[in-house]
Structure 1
C-alpha cells in the first residue's frame, strides 16, 4: 500500500491547479514531506486555456441589438516549474525544500473592447496582465509518535509583472518577503491512511516599479516611480488518503485561500488607483482514486471542483470564475529508484462576464460574456529516491 501512496502524491501535484480562483497556480502542497527516505523531484506542466468572450452591443435599454464585439484567446498559455528535495535526518526528523510558482496571471485582450483597436484608440495598448511569482519553502517535520507528526517552516515569496488596464500601465517587482507554514499529520501505514492539515500565513509583499497613468482617452501621463505593498492571502490545505482495497487508494484535498479582499492599489495623480480587487475567498476540492497495476505501474483518476464567485467580475483580468475538472495520470517506478509520473487534466472554467462602456449611441453599460470555455493541463514529474 505504501507504494500506491507515493504514486498518488506525485500524480496529484502533476495534475495541479490549472485554473484556480484568484491567481492561484501551484496549490502550495507539502506532500514531499511524506516520501520515504531521501527524495528529489522536478515537475514541468503546460496549461493551455481557451477563453473567448462575446458581447451584443445594444440600444434602447437592451431592446435593440445594433452590433457585437468579441475577445478571443484572452487567457494565455503558460508553463509551471517546480523543484522539491526531502532529506531524512533520522527516525524523527525530516527536512524539505520546495521551489515553485504559486501565483500568476497571463491575460491578454488582443481584440474586443479592452484592446487598442476595439476601444477605438481610447486605450493606447491592449489590456493585459502578465504576472509571475517564485516561492521558496523550507520545512521541517518531527514525528511525535503513534502516527502523529508536526511540520512547519518559512515560505519566501517574490512577485513581478505588468498590468495594462483602463487606469494605465503598472510595471513592478519585489524581493523575497517571508511568511510562515505550520501543520499536523496523522498516518497509519498498514492501511495507507494519511491526513495532513497545513496552514500558511498571509505574506506582505513590497513592490517597487513604475506607473504610467491614463489621463485621457489615448493619452498616458509620463512614467513615474511607485512603491506599494500587497498582502498575498493566507491558506489552509487538507490532504487525505486511505486504502479502500488491496492496491487501491482513495485520496483527495481541500484548499481554502482567503482571496476575498485581495487588493492592489497605488497612489495616482488625483487619488488612489485600484488595479485589482477580489471579492471572494476560494475553496477547491479534489477527489481521486489510484490503482497499482503491478510493481512498476500505477494509474489514477482525479476530479476537481471550485465554486463560482461573484458575477460580474470585479476586473477584466479575471474573465472566469470557479471550475470543474477531470484528470488522468500514470506513474512508472523503476527498479533503480526513478519515479516518472505524467498527467493530463481537462478543465471547464466557470462562466463569467465583465461590463464596459458602450460606443456612442448605444446603452452606456454592455456585457462581455465568457461562456463554454476550457483548459488542458499536461504535466510530467521526474523523481529519484536515494
Structure 2
C-alpha cells in the first residue's frame, strides 16, 4: 500500500486534456523514485475531450462543432539504488500537447482552424537519503517541442516550427515515515525557453521564443487506518508566463497566451481490498479564472473524478484507471482583424480518459 501513490499518479495523467491552458498532459510526478530497490514501469493513456460552443449573436450565433480530438500519451521510467543512500532514475514523458481542429462548413469564424503541438521529455534524476527520513533529489530535463498552426480568419495565417531541443532542471525534497506509509514531497520544475525557427504564411522565415512554464508539485500520502491511505497534491503552474507570438502574426495580439497561473488540488483515498488488489478514488479541482480564454483552448477550470484499481502479481503491479472531467465554461474573444469583442461561449464540456500503468520490481 505504501507505493500506491504511483498508481494514483498514473490515474491523474488521464485527465490532462482539462489541465491548464488545454496543453498540459502530465502532472510531472516523480513518484517512481520512491519505489523500493530497482523498479521499472510503462504507462499509456487515452483521452477523449468534447469541447464545443456557440458564437455570439454579433458573429451569427453559429455552433462551433467539437473542436478537440482524442489523443494518446506514452511514458516510461526506471530507477535503481546505487547504495543505501543514493538512487538514480530516468523518466520519459510527453508533458505538453494540443490537437485542435474547428470543423469546416459551420460558418463559425474559426472554422477550419487547427493546431498541433507535440513534446517529449527525458529526465535524469538522482535522489540522496539523509537522516530522519529526509531526502533530496534533482536532475536534468531534455525537452523537445514542435508544432503547426493554421488560422484562416487571420489573413489565412499558417505557422510551422522546427523541433526545438532545450535543457531544464528539477529539484526537490521529501520526508518519509514507512511505518505509517507517510510521505511528503515538494518538487520544482524549471521553466524551459525554446527558440523556434519558424515558417509563416507558407514561406516567410523567422524566429521567436516561447517559454514552457515553471511548476511546483506538493504531493503527500499517509496511512489513516489498516490498509487505507489518504492521498493529496497541490500543483502550481506559471501559465501567465506562457506566450506564443510569432514575428509575422497579423494584428497586435498573441497566438496563444494566458492571463492567470493555475493551481490544481487533488485529494484521494486508496484502500486495500484483498492482499493483491487495491482501489483508488480521487477528486481534482482547478478554479475558473474568468476573462477570455484562448480560441485554441477554450476551457477555464475543471473538476475531475477518477477511479483506479491496482493489482499485484508477484513482482509486477498493474494499474488501470478512468477519469471523467467537467470542464469549466469559457468565453473567447474575436481577433481585432475581425472586429474584436465576445466571439464564442463554450459551455457544458467534458473529457473522459483511461490509463494503464505496468510496473515491475526487479
Q: With structure 2 as the length reference, what TM-score do the two structures score?
A: 0.92
Aligned to 1:148: 134
Choose from 336, 340, 352 the match for 2:330: 352
Q: What is residue 209 of structure 2 aligned with on the other side?
A: 229
CA contact (8 A) 1:157 1:205 kept: no
Rounded to whole Å, the distance in 1 between the matches of 2:258 and 2:356 is: 32
Q: How does 1:50-199 map to 2 (within 5 A)?
A: 50-58=50-58, 68-111=61-104, 118-119=108-109, 126-165=112-151, 166-167=153-154, 168-199=157-188
1:84-128: CA deviations, max 9, x gaps? 11111111011111100101111111147xx7x544xxx7x7111
Structure 2 gaps of 5+ residues are none
What's the CA shift string for 1:301-360, capped at 9, x where partnerless? 0000001123222x201210100010100011102x1110000000001000113379x9
1:375 is aligned, of 336, 345, 351, to 351
Does residue 283 (structure 1) correspond to residue 263 (structure 2)? The answer is yes
2:248 alignment partner in structure 1: 268
CA contact (8 A) 1:57 1:366 kept: no
Between 1:283-292 and 1:172-181, the stretch displaced more is 172-181
Gaps of 5+ in 1: 60-66, 213-221
> In the alignment, is residue 201 of structure 1 matched against residue 179 of structure 2?
no
Q: Deviations over 1:121-145 (max 9, x none)?
A: xx7x711111110011110000011
Partner of 2:300: 321
Q: CA deviation at 1:266?
A: 2.0
User: Which residue of structure 1 lines up, in the alignment, with residue 34 of structure 2?
Assistant: 34
After TM superposition, give the deviation of residue 229 of structure 1 in Å. Answer: 1.6
Aligned residue in 2 for 1:21: 20
Q: State how far apart, in whole Å, the 2-side matches of 1:270 and 1:376 are.
A: 35
Larger Rg: 1
Structure number with the higher helix fraction is 2
SS at match of 2:9: helix
SS in 2 for 1:266: coil
State the 1:295 CA deviation. Answer: 1.7
**1 CA distance for matches of 2:249 and 2:308?**
52
Q: Give the Cα separation in 1 of the matches to 2:234 and 2:319.
A: 22
Change (3 A) 1:5 1:49: same
Inter-partner Cα distance in structure 2 for 1:379 and 1:184: 28
Change (3 A) 1:156 1:364: closer
Work out whether 1:334 is the aligned partner of 2:313.
Answer: yes
1: CA distance, partners of 2:251 / 2:292: 25
Structure 1 length-normalised TM: 0.87
Conserved 8 A contact 1:14-1:43: no
